[in-house]
């Protein structure tokens, strides 16, 4: 499966190094940290990055295997990368009105026969997200948007994707085992057990470029986190979410999330729960990206345009999902069907 990436940051470093990790392991059965070893006949180790785009001077023009480790990337360095492809990082789109550059990105995608473009630029660049979406659709390439900046949620892009039979997946991924998943599950458990929520909060800290960026561009991320919680519970008005409570450089690519839940039980007696979650932030993203890009590729091969239902539970802001609670069962069924397909 041929993948192109826009933005060579920590998420891409974690994804590419992780694919290399599983190739070295040579495991044919269940893989540690992998939910679906095979999706639609595509194995984790089948993915090749054939094109990459970035604007940073210390990344563009360099082989991907070098650019992955350029600052400010700080994902841990694993062993040597057994890459089947090592493309040179091409200049990305700097100006969303630069039609020549958008056409050039589309040209590279066609020449490299990319099946999916993975968009992973910093949050807070909605016009660039739209421009990369246009480039991909112009090349007939499926798109997976890792960020909360709207791409799949833009009506004109969605209509074009559906008309061309090209998948458009987004917006914003749901981490493999992140604060939104844990927090939402705790809130759902309260509802299930009949307790009344008094108030709850979630604060996140980290030391990578994403957390530094979120200090000033947190609005869309905050909204997407609330939408993620509403995949578990219907109301979040008593919940406060702070996507980046601080940039703590010594944490590196680690993320620390603090969650607190206060509720009232039988006879109005108080219940309080505090949870701290620590994860490798970009591994947490890559563990879901690996499924999203395969879902998009399989849908493209089948000529299924627009939003694939199987991606619903893997996103914070699934497009065209009016009731996330009702859609979750259909998403699980679709994922199970894809996972059950053999290599043929």
Per the prediction, the chain carries an average pLDDT of 90
Per-residue model confidence (pLDDT) at position 29:
61
Mark which of 280, 298, 324 sits at the end of a domain.
280
Q: Are residues 262 and 294 in the same domain?
A: no
Residue 249 has pLDDT above 70, yes or no: yes
- The tens digit of pLDDT for each residue in 196-218 reads 999 999 999 999 988 888 777 77
Quote the pLDDT of residue 236.
86
Taking 60 as the threshold, does the pLDDT of residue 17 lie above it? Answer: yes
Same-domain pairing of 326 and 241 = no
Residue 343: pLDDT band with limits 50, 70, 90: very low
Mean pLDDT of 9-37: 87
Average pLDDT over residues 165-187: 93
What would the mean pLDDT of 56-63 be, rounded to a whole number?
96
Same domain as 66, residue 46: yes
Residue 20 belongs to domain with CATH number: 3.40.50.720
Same domain, residue pair 115 and 189: no
Mean pLDDT lowest among 30-39, 117-126, 136-145, 162-171:
30-39
Q: Are residues 10 and 105 in the same domain?
A: yes
Beta-bridged to residue 88, according to DSSP, are 63
CB 8 within 8 A of CB 68: yes
Does 159 share its domain with 201?
no
Same structural domain for residues 84 and 147?
A: yes
Q: Which tops the pLDDT comparison, 120 or 83?
A: 120
CA dist 328 and 331 (Å) reads 5
Task: Report helix, strand or coil for 198.
Answer: strand
> Do 138 and 29 share a structural domain?
yes
Domain that holds residue 261: 179-280
Measure Cα distances from 163 to 33, 82, 107, 116, 318 in Å. 36, 38, 20, 17, 19
Displacement of CA 204 from its chain's centroid (Å): 17
Residues 79, 69, 145: CA angle, nearest 5 degrees: 105
Q: What is the pTM of this model?
A: 0.89
């Amino acid at each position: 499966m041929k993948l192109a990436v826009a933005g060579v940051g920590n998420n891409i470093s974690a994804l590419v190094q992780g694919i290399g990790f599983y190739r070295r392991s040579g495991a044919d059965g269940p893989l540690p940290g992998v939910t679906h070893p095979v999706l639609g006949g595509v194995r984790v180790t089948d993915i090749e990055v054939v094109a990459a785009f970035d604007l940073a001077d210390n990344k563009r023009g360099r082989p991907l295997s070098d650019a992955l480790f350029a600052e400010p990337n700080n994902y841990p360095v694993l062993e040597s990368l057994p890459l089947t492809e090592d493309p040179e990082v091409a200049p990305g789109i700097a100006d969303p009105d630069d039609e020549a550059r958008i056409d050039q990105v589309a040209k590279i995608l066609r020449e490299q026969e990319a099946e999916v473009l993975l968009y992973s630029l910093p949050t807070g660049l909605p016009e660039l997200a739209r421009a990369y979406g246009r480039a991909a659709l112009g090349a007939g390439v499926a798109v997976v948007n890792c960020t909360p900046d709207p791409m799949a949620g833009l009506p004109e892009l969605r209509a074009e994707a559906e008309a061309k039979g090209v998948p458009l997946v987004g917006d914003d991924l749901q981490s493999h085992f992140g604060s939104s998943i844990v927090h939402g599950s705790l809130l759902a458990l309260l509802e299930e057990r009949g307790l009344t929520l008094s108030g709850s909060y979630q604060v996140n800290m980290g030391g990578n470029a994403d957390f530094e960026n979120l200090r000033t561009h947190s609005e869309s991320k905050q909204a997407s986190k609330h939408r993620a919680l509403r995949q578990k519970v219907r109301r979040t008005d008593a919940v406060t979410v702070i996507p980046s409570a601080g940039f703590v450089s010594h944490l590196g690519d680690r993320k620390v999330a603090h969650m607190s839940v206060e509720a009232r039980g039988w006879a109005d007696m108080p219940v309080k729960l505090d949870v701290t979650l620590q994860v490798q932030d970009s591994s947490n993203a890559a563990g879901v990206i690996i499924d999203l890009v395969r879902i998009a590729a399989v849908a493209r091969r089948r000529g299924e345009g627009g939003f694939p239902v199987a991606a619903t539970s893997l996103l914070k802001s699934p497009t065209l999902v009016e009731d996330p609670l009702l859609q979750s069962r259909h998403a699980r069924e679709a994922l199970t069907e894809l996972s059950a397909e053999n290599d043929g």
